[in-house]
Amino acid sequence: MAVPWRKNPNTSLECQPWRKLSVEGKILLVKGVFLASSYSILCTDSSLMWEEILDEENLLERSKSLNSHIEAPPTVITQQLLQRLLNGPLIKCKYSINITESLLTLSVSGPLQGDSGPEYQWNFCLHKTPSLVLKHQLVNPLLSMSVELLRQRNRLVDIIEKKDKEIRDYRENGAVISRKHLETLPFDEKAFTNEMIVTQDFQVSSIDPLSSIDSSWQDLYRDLSLCRNWVSSTDVTSSTTEMLPGTGGTWENKLPPSLIGSATTTPSVSPKKRSLESSPSKDAEKMRRLELERQLENSKAKNKKKKKKLM
């Protein structure tokens, strides 16, 4: 069965997975949506969260004030900032950070394009978000991930137990393994759990989980966010916002109403569960997202009218 929301990533900030950014010994999680001439970003130290939403006008103004000798088109600027924030720290760039409860300033300077471009300075200036944003962007997705992964773990254990039954059947009927190293021991879930928790990796998971965040982790974060967004946004029309390469894609289609209907009325989800979707926090988040999408759309529209040369 095809999963439309999986093939066509949403452009909203909430569906972007977190990435680790380590600057001056501080470990942060960052995510962002970078469009042709604007961006919106979030950053957290796992206890507070800060954000910056910058439209084209302010982007160009800040670029000019920090780099009076450089005139670059917005697309070049946002592409460069995307690299610096989400692929960083970049070797050729210098990062510094200043954190207060209300403001997080991340300063990055380095070549604007390639290794030989002119030195280009940027300050990301993020303001502290309401606590609900931390819940919506970090805590709830992490809860979802832990629950979903536990479900997948249990399903995999079921599969292993079925394989063991098949293997036992062959053996009981006289089959003999041709190469000894292919033989496996019957799976014992309790022994497996004990084996996992005595490993060094378990300690790393418990003390330094951020070091283990990889693309699988990010894929699951994205899938769960897309699914949540999809279930709760049947009234959001298709967006054709164009994102920069590497930050996602576009909604090319939506599920037909018939499928959406069946997904939201299936009896296995109780009314209590559905009511969560329209909670005040959910609505507040949705308002934030819609406002953000509106701003970014406006910004993109403006951008089409202007063209500037690099240098």
Q: What residues from 118 to 147 belong to the interface with its own copies (CB under 8 A)?
A: 131-132, 134-135, 138-140, 142-147
Q: Is 269 in the site for its own copies (CB under 8 A)?
A: yes
Distance (Å, whole) CA 61 – CA 10: 29
Among the listed residues 91, 116, 166, 304, the single contact to its own copies using CB under 8 A = 166
Alpha helix positions (H), the chain: 4-7, 56-66, 74-86, 131-134, 140-172, 189-197, 200-207, 215-232, 257-265, 271-275, 280-305
Distance (Å, whole) CA 170 – CA 184: 13
Minimum CB separation of residue 86 from its own copies in Å reads 19
Count residues contacting its own copies (CB under 8 A)?
A: 91
Within 1-20, the residues that bind its own copies by CB under 8 A are: 1, 3, 6
Minimum CB separation of residue 3 from its own copies in Å reads 6
Q: Of the ranges 61-69, 85-93, 105-113, 223-231, which one interacts with its own copies (CB under 8 A)?
A: 223-231
Contacts of 274 (CB under 8 A, 6+ apart): 264
Minimum CB separation of residue 136 from its own copies in Å reads 8
Distances (CA, A) of 262 to 94, 173, 258: 52, 46, 6
Within 74-93, the residues that bind its own copies by CB under 8 A are: none
User: Please, is 278 exposed, middle or buried when counting C-beta atoms within 10 Å of its C-beta (0-12, 13-18, 19+)?
Assistant: exposed
User: What's the alpha-carbon Rg for the chain, to the nearest Å?
Assistant: 24
Q: Is 68 in the site for its own copies (CB under 8 A)?
A: no
Distance (Å, whole) CA 158 – CA 2: 25
Within 239-268, the residues that bind its own copies by CB under 8 A are: 263, 266, 268
Minimum CB separation of residue 234 from its own copies in Å reads 13
Among the listed residues 150, 290, 301, 311, the single contact to its own copies using CB under 8 A = 150
Q: Is 184 in the site for its own copies (CB under 8 A)?
A: yes
CB-nearer residue toward its own copies: 214 or 235? 214
Give the DSSP letter of residue 212: G
Minimum CB separation of residue 122 from its own copies in Å reads 26
Pairing of strands 119-128, 39-44: unpaired
Q: Is 215 in the site for its own copies (CB under 8 A)?
A: no
Minimum CB separation of residue 276 from its own copies in Å reads 5
Within 30-59, the residues that bind its own copies by CB under 8 A are: 45-48
Q: Is 99 in the site for its own copies (CB under 8 A)?
A: no
Q: Is 156 in the site for its own copies (CB under 8 A)?
A: yes
Q: What amino acid is encoded at 200 in this protein?
A: Q
Say if CB 106 and CB 99 are below 8 A apart.
Answer: no
User: Please, is 33 exposed, middle or buried when counting C-beta atoms within 10 Å of its C-beta (0-12, 13-18, 19+)?
Assistant: buried
Q: Is 188 in the site for its own copies (CB under 8 A)?
A: no
